[in-house]
Amino acid sequence: MGAGKMDRAAAERFVAAWHANWCKVDIDAVVAHFAGDAQMRSPLASSLTGSPVVMGAENIRAYWREAYGHVESADLKIVGWSWDEEITRLTVWWQLGDVRASEFMDFDDAGRVVRSEAFYGK
């Protein structure tokens, strides 16, 4: 499922696919980029799961289905992104309506997301 070792060009392709998948709210396509033992941290997870950390791709899928499964599409805008080659970390800044967020994703050698964390603001 991974895209191989991540570099800046692969990160740019990832951002485009990630953006398109979230605009369609294609949760399966988003989760396909995650390693099986990935962990995702979001302050929004606490209200649905009781914990800000969701462990494992299947639990992440279940959380996103519960949180966003009722949404058919989203006018998500990418504000910007950056790629850190040294630590293989992608940071994406996005906006949805009046919600602004930054989200980082760490990748393994196979190009799969192993850790992500979202930060929200206005």
Enumerate domains of the chain plus CATH numbers.
Answer: 8-121 (3.10.450.50)
Helix H, strand E, coil C: the string for 61-121 is: HHHHHHHHCCCCCCCCEEEEEEEECCCCEEEEEEEECCEEEEEEEEECCCCCEEEEEEEEE
Q: By three-state DSSP, how is residue 49 classified?
A: helix
Q: What is the pLDDT of residues 7-53, one digit of tens each?
A: 999 999 999 999 999 999 999 999 999 999 999 999 989 988 899 99
Q: What is the pTM of this model?
A: 0.91
